[in-house]
Structure 1
Amino acid sequence: MKHYNSREEVPTHEKWDLTDIYSSLSDWEKDYQHVLDMTEQLKKYDGNIQSGATLYDYLSRSENLSKTFNLVYVYAMLSGDLDTRDHHAQSLLDRAKHASVKVSAASSFFMPFLLSLEEEQLKKYIEEESRLDYFAEDLYDSFRYKPHVLSKEEEQIVSRLGEAMSSPSNTFGMINNADIIFGDVTDDDGGKVPLTRGMYAKRIEDEDRSVRQEAYKAYYKPYTEMKNTIASTLAAAIKNNVAMADIRHYPSALEKSLFADNVSLSVYENLIETTKANIEPMHRYNQIRKERLNVDELRQYDLSAPLVSGVKLEIPYDEAYETMLLALRPLGDDYQETLRSFKDKRYIDVRETPGKRSGAYNLGVHGVHPFVLLNHQDDLDSLFTLAHEMGHAMHSYYSNKHQPRISAGYSIFVAEVASTVNEVLLIHYLLEKETDPTIKKHLVNHFIDQFKGTLFTQVMFAEFEKRTHELAQKGQPLNAEVFNSVYEELFQEFQGDTLVFDPEVKFGWSRIPHFYRPFYVYKYATGYISAIHIATRLLAGDQETLKTYLTFLKSGSSDYPIELLKKTGVDLTSEEPIKSAMKKFSELVEEFSKL
């Protein structure tokens, strides 16, 4: 694989064309100033909305401001991500963030105002101003929040507390990214060097068990040493969540987090209970792992070790793209041809270059098109990342094409469905055409480990969050000892008796940044379960599923997430889709055991 020392070396067709947003920097500057001007105009509506006409005028101006600000912010963000060392691009992003604060402040009065109205008064405004029909559904939906919105003065106080309330998350971020120093590991020359995250990711998958063990101990060393500091930070974050839920009159922090998506508590609890009731195949997989690794005791540092050695596939980007398109044939001609065009239209920034943001993402821009960032490495993981991100991109494309701006953006709850459907279709295609038994075994193992990480691990994290928030709500202490106890018990439940615990296992909670974004991780699991359910029926040639799934991709946020998924045949209020996913996992484990 060719390595690129600068963006200039990368072929033009493998780089974003940001002129699709702004043809010149001067155009960006004009819109930036326009955002500031519109923000000042928006402030004038505070206390002056007294009719349907003025309500429409405010909402129309607010949407126009949002549209322009989104372009300003996205252009700055994408420019900065192409080279994080580019000070000019970073200064654009800093200015956009500054504008964001002003935009938020200018509109902060509106929700308290809206919810101070009686619903009959709102209805009267809508009847007298027909142009409000466009906003009507969102306006009425806002009334769900009425019991949870405070007075204007109280909302201002809460808003001012925002920075302080985010302190635990920011503190953990500094500990985890800036200050943390891992233990030493042995380099190729026999000397000792400090472990890095990049080194850990490779060494924890090394075939040499002593290398894995050394990396594992070095990785957890700072977390165990700082256990009390990190525990205090996490406890503060949890207590903040509980306090804010109480201030806003929610029964619990969990129900506050579920409220925006209109997800019932029973969906969250059903996910945990049904997963645990069908956990045996996960335990069986660990038994197989122990046997295949031929170890006397299975340890946590054995859980990422390769069970199939000697498989390293090189898949150039062009070949990967064609493979993906072939795998996605069950989604129909329009899906395939639209996706094919993304490559030619430069919607994808493909190559890793110095200073470029790591990882991968899709950013759908309404009125423009999706922008997909990759750091393609011409390997199997990169092929799956490509299929995953293009699933997001197609979801954004279809929603933006078929929905007005107000309902084009889709919820995080459904975001992982489209990406995971693509991954499932891809793995089935690769398995179907593969003739080499070693590679086939490797692919099945890849599917199992993906299942394990996206479903079982996230459900375990979801229960950890639920239990610790319940302790806080009851006024129980939260400290390192409590977190260790809860985490170790859950890890035992999910991993089974085959695993022998090292002292570090119980400190797993201390390294998870998602715990500072409360009750988020369960959405990975529900998205994965939904995708397995949909992809299985697509592979069976179910044309009704194809029709409803494509409609789902075009639906944006036109309905609540649970209802959108029900229209595809996935009912997350029942056990059925979870059991279906567990059955698929069990089949994969059995297939792997026979290979």
Structure 2
Amino acid sequence: MNHLKNRQEVPEMEKWDLTDIYANQEAWEADYASVEKMAQELKSYDGNITDGATMYQFLSKQEEMVAIFNNVYVYAMLHVDLDTREQASQALLDKGRSLAVKLNEATSFFSPFLMSLEKYTLDQYMSEEPRLSYFKDDLYDTYRYKDHVLSKENEELLSQLGETFSAPRNTFGMINNADIKFGNVTDDDGNEVELTRGMYSKLIEDENREKRKEAYKSYYQPYVQMKNSIASTLSAAIKNNVTLSKVRHYPSALEKSLFANKIPKEVYENLIDTARKNLSTMHRYTQLRKDILGVDELRQYDLNVPLVSGVKEDISYEEAYATMLEALAPLGEDYVQTVKEMKGSRYIDVRETPGKRSGAYNLGLYGVHPFILLNHQDDLDSLFTLTHEMGHAMHSHYSNKHQPRITASYEIFVAEVASTVNEVLLIHHLLDEAKDQEYRKYLLNHFIDQFKGTFFTQVMFAEFEKKTHELAENGEPLNTETFNDIYEDLFKTYHGDALTIEEETKYGWSRIPHFYRPFYVYQYATGFAAAIHIANAILKGDKDTLNAYLSFLKSGSSDYPIELLKKTGVDLTTPEPIENALGVFEDLVQEFATL
């Protein structure tokens, strides 16, 4: 069992080098002050944009200010994530959040002003000032929001309430990352040690059922204890979202979330409907799991243990990186070489250390480079996580390199495609290399569980969000009991009758950070379906799809996400990509059952 290293024990090459953003805190403070000053200057444009030239001045200064602000904020955020207990870092981030509010206040007048212009006036500004063409798509796209932008006074008021609206999410973040203490578990030598998240992810896969049960009970214990506090923060987050949707005249909170990317509501509903129609394979797999484990009652702590024993292996970080490079070879030399260089450039923070933020992510900072956070555990899951986050990092790298700042960042809707294509390439590589039938079964089992987690679990979460937001929209109460009932019912529906529900199961909602980013998780499932289509075509040697995919990685947000994906041959407005992905799932379960 891994015991946490102190940060000092981790090799330098496995830690972020944040001096790539700022050499020291003095440089950070200087940029902080310059953003404050620029925000004041931008306020002076309120009421004074009268032609194309002044509009261009305002927009280019605003872009410059936001670029510097991003550096300021990200630097503080990354420091906090390395140790959420560190008060000095927390103070920097608090300053960053306050600065965000000032920045929004200074520029909140612009949207109502733009909406007040007739289209022919904007056309005239464009013809007067050729440099405005850089902002053209954004300016005309803003007109889509005409019905959802409030008066100048109300927009200012809403921007001042920014911190208030984000309070539930920030509160849950502190509870989940800094305050929660899991109970103790017994290590291999019979000693009691405090459970960590990284340890839990290993123990819940342990072949010893008692160990799994002990870890499961210990892990859920603080969430059950704090159920009412967490229900209060989640309820507030949902109600805030519903309130903002109403204030901005959207038909529903769901449609507000989908509006920016022009995602039709049908894409969300079609995802849930198609998944529900195909739950029989998922139920078959749950029954298969129960049969193979030979248990009278299949429990939630039995859902993650590999069904093939004796082949679980330790994979060091070095080995994991080398395997990933081999697996990504179908994406071409430039792709693989760039991934190789990231390892030696300290773009990746590798190890779990005390106080470090849990999980993994990639953050692509324009003009600097991607930053990848891991909590690497030297196992197969960690190899997949590394490969997943590298997909995001390469998406950031290519888009930042090939797009101007205004279109460099990609939308969340397409973000999961790049990460999942990498994972699909990895599993196929591992299956191709597997000489031993037991290891092949182990990998199939791993891919099925991966599919379950990235597709079915996320669709279940998406349905939970839809139901809870609809209750709030109808003025129904949201509390621990409501959340428990909905979550338990969905868990039963998705897993089938072979699973015996644990008392803790219904509290699953209380540990999900993504619920504080409304209607986010469904994109894991749509991205997964799209990625399976693209990766399978690339593996069959389809050069057109490969070229279209590499162009997609370089596209940032130069078009709406649905349109960008259509260029790779995936149309998510139809059930076809979802059904194709579920066909792959059925084949995997069939092969696994046969073996």
Give the TM-score normalised by the residue count of structure 2. Answer: 0.92
Distance change >3 Å, CA 391–CA 91, structure 1 → 2: same
Question: Could you tell me how far 1:578 is from its partner in structure 2?
Answer: 0.4
Distance change >3 Å, CA 164–CA 313, structure 1 → 2: same
Deviations 1:16-50 (A, max 9, x none): 44444344555444333322222221111111111
User: Unpaired segments of 5 or more residues in structure 1?
Assistant: none
Would the aligned equivalents of 1:327 and 1:425 in 2 still touch at CA under 8 Å? yes
Question: After superposition, where does 1:117-266 map in structure 2 within 5 Å?
Answer: 117-173=117-173, 176=176, 197=197, 200-221=200-221, 223-224=223-224, 227-228=227-228, 230-266=230-266
Distance change >3 Å, CA 371–CA 92, structure 1 → 2: same
Distance change >3 Å, CA 49–CA 453, structure 1 → 2: same
Query: More deviation in 582-591 or 87-96?
Result: 87-96
Would the aligned equivalents of 1:4 and 1:10 in 2 still touch at CA under 8 Å? no
The corresponding residue for 2:424 is 424
Q: Does 1:571 align with 2:545?
A: no
Distance change >3 Å, CA 84–CA 489, structure 1 → 2: closer
Q: Does 1:65 align with 2:29?
A: no
Code of the residue aligned with 2:565 in structure 1: it is L
**SS of corresponding position for 1:501:** coil
Distance change >3 Å, CA 5–CA 294, structure 1 → 2: closer
Code of the residue aligned with 1:213 in structure 2: it is K
Deviations 1:151-182 (A, max 9, x none): 11122233343344344444544555566566
Question: After superposition, where does 1:295-334 map in structure 2 within 5 Å?
Answer: 295-334=295-334
Would the aligned equivalents of 2:20 and 2:368 in 1 still touch at CA under 8 Å? yes
Would the aligned equivalents of 1:398 and 1:553 in 2 still touch at CA under 8 Å? yes
Give the TM-score normalised by the residue count of structure 1. Answer: 0.92
Equivalenced residue count is 595
State the alpha-carbon separation in 2 of the partners of residues 219 and 96 from structure 1: 32
Would the aligned equivalents of 2:97 and 2:163 in 1 still touch at CA under 8 Å? no
The corresponding residue for 1:293 is 293
**SS of corresponding position for 1:413:** helix
Distance change >3 Å, CA 78–CA 214, structure 1 → 2: closer
The RMSD of aligned alpha carbons is: 2.9
Code of the residue aligned with 1:293 in structure 2: it is L
Query: More deviation in 528-537 or 100-109?
Result: 100-109
Would the aligned equivalents of 2:203 and 2:215 in 1 still touch at CA under 8 Å? yes
State the alpha-carbon separation in 2 of the partners of residues 399 and 448 from structure 1: 31
The corresponding residue for 2:542 is 542
State the alpha-carbon separation in 1 of the partners of residues 72 and 308 from structure 2: 48
State the alpha-carbon separation in 2 of the partners of residues 60 and 366 from structure 1: 16
Would the aligned equivalents of 2:198 and 2:352 in 1 still touch at CA under 8 Å? no
The corresponding residue for 2:336 is 336
Q: Does 1:41 align with 2:41?
A: yes
State the alpha-carbon separation in 2 of the partners of residues 538 and 334 from structure 1: 16
Would the aligned equivalents of 2:348 and 2:372 in 1 still touch at CA under 8 Å? yes
Q: Does 1:391 align with 2:371?
A: no
Would the aligned equivalents of 1:261 and 1:560 in 2 still touch at CA under 8 Å? yes
Query: More deviation in 528-537 or 220-229?
Result: 220-229
Deviations 1:422-464 (A, max 9, x none): 1110111011011122222221111111111111011011112
Deviations 1:350-403 (A, max 9, x none): 445566554433221222222223344433223222211211111111101111
State the alpha-carbon separation in 2 of the partners of residues 356 and 482 from structure 1: 32
User: Unpaired segments of 5 or more residues in structure 2?
Assistant: none
Deviations 1:519-548 (A, max 9, x none): 111111111111111111111111110011
Query: More deviation in 285-294 or 345-354?
Result: 345-354
Deviations 1:58-109 (A, max 9, x none): 0011111122222233334445545556666555444444433322221122
Code of the residue aligned with 2:238 in structure 1: it is I
Code of the residue aligned with 1:243 in structure 2: it is T
Code of the residue aligned with 1:271 in structure 2: it is L
Code of the residue aligned with 1:67 in structure 2: it is A
State the alpha-carbon separation in 2 of the partners of residues 44 and 78 from structure 1: 33
**SS of corresponding position for 1:569:** coil
